[in-house]
Structure 1
Amino acid sequence: MLKQLMLVKLPLLLLTIISFLGSSFVYAHGPSRLKVKESITIDAPAEKVWKTVGAFDSLTWLPPVTKVVMEKEPADQKGAVRVVYVGEQSVTEQLKKLDKEGMLLKYKISKNNTALLPVTNYQSTITVKADGDKSIVTWKAGFYRGDPNNDPPENLNDETAIGAIVGLYKVGLENLKVIMEQ
């Protein structure tokens, strides 16, 4: 009788323990994916703006960038890889999609440098849309902060990551506007 009782209760006990352990993992949570989206209206035709924005091998319109070196070409094909330099620091980016007709460029950072840009798992999309004889450029991204651990240092937390991307996008889009409206 004791043996039969143990055979019934042991599986219930094990199931209870497993359920408890499993539910404790549900509460474990890493950082959330962060998102940024910035847009600007430019007094220039969309085709002109796209010619500049859609060139994966050039970031002449993005002020902090000092040079772009292509590691894998052609620059207009999915899989192209560029190294983007700001002084001696760099990040490596891979082209995910280039839709010339839809004026859409999608890329990701494939080699992070959190000292330069305090983010990880960064993916971004830039689009240009015609608005009469003007253009609307939208630059958006999804990413994680530079440090995925709980209680990250201030230079790698959510606020710093968002601030860095928003700052970069605003400076870049404002400069693009100035260049395109000349």
Structure 2
Amino acid sequence: MKRRHFLAAAVLAALPGIALAHGPSRQKVTLTADVAADPAAVWEAIGNFQDMSWHPAVFSTEGTGGNDIDATRHLVLGQEGGPTIDEVLYKYDAAKMTYSYRITDVLVEVLPVTNYSSHLTVKPRAEGGSTVEWRGAFYRGYPNNDPPPELNDEAAVAAVTGVYQAGLDALVERFGAP
């Protein structure tokens, strides 16, 4: 009986330490942009998983599998020989103008995230034109407690927000604001 009480006391004593050592929480970013073009025109520009030339940070895209599930793409950022991101498509619906993908390989120095997934969707606006929604979920680049500033939650959210905003701004510039 004493042993059972001792074990119970040991477990209770450890609980505060367990609560403090939970690690990172999943972060989420959702950004939208309204553009003057109709959804079909916007989808024509961004709906091909193999072509991300519409994003100003992407120097080149190459991949396999087209828009089929498990298709892959390799992005080169900035310039020839620049940093890279590898991604895989896991959901694609041309009729609903949406696709979802995951990053399979990126250095945290390039994008300070892990376990990143994202969804890109084009929707019609009641007033005409389109709304492009880009949302993602991810963990910070440093999986343990006490991350360095460049790999913490704030850095991860800021980096993903910057990527999304640059892409959406390019679409507004290309298609015009409503």
TM-score when scaled to structure 2? 0.89
User: How far has the Cα of 1:12 moved from its partner?
Assistant: 2.9
1:31 to 21, 24, 30: 24
Deviates more, 1:162-171 or 1:55-64: 162-171
Amino acid at match of 1:180: F
The 1:38/1:51 distance shift into structure 2, 3 A limit, reads same
1:49 is aligned to: 42
Contact 2:47 / 2:94 at 8 angstroms: preserved in 1?
yes
Shift of 1:25: 2.1
What is the Cα deviation at residue 22 of structure 1? Answer: 5.3
Partner of 1:178: 173
How much has 1:119 moved relative to structure 2? 1.0
How big is the shift at 1:180?
2.8
Mapped partners of 1:14, 1:36: distance in 2: 43
Q: 2:151 aligns with which of 153, 156, 172?
A: 156
Seq. identity, %: 35
Give the paired residue count: 173
Shift of 1:47: 0.8
Give the aligned CA root-mean-square deviation in angstroms: 1.8
1:118 aligns with 2:109: no
Give how far 1:41 is off.
Answer: 0.6
The residue number in structure 2 matching 1:15 is: 8
Indicate the residue corresponding to 1:61 in structure 2: 54
- The equivalent of 1:82 in structure 2 is 73
CA distance in 2: counterparts of 1:65 and 1:156, whole angstroms = 22
Amino acid at match of 1:32: S
Q: Is 1:106 aligned to residue 100 of structure 2?
A: yes
> Which amino acid in 1 is paired with 2:129?
K
Distance 1:131 1:100 in 2: 18
Q: Residue 130 of structure 1 corresponds to which residue in structure 2?
A: 124
Whether the 8 Å CA contact 2:100–2:117 is kept in 1: the answer is: yes
Unaligned runs of 5+ in 2: none
Q: For residues 117-175 of structure 1, give each alpha carbon's deviation from its aligned partner in whole angstroms, at most 9, with x where no partner exists.
A: 11111110011001143000000111111112222222212222111111111111111
Structure 1 counterpart SS, 2:173? helix
Change (3 A) 1:29 1:50: same
User: Within the alignment, does 1:40 sit opposite 2:23 as a pair?
Assistant: no
TM-score by length of 1: 0.87
Q: Which has the larger radius of gyration?
A: 1
C-alpha separation between the residues in 2 aligned to 1:141 and 1:78?
A: 18
1:147 maps to amino acid: Y
Partner amino acid, structure 2, of 1:11: R
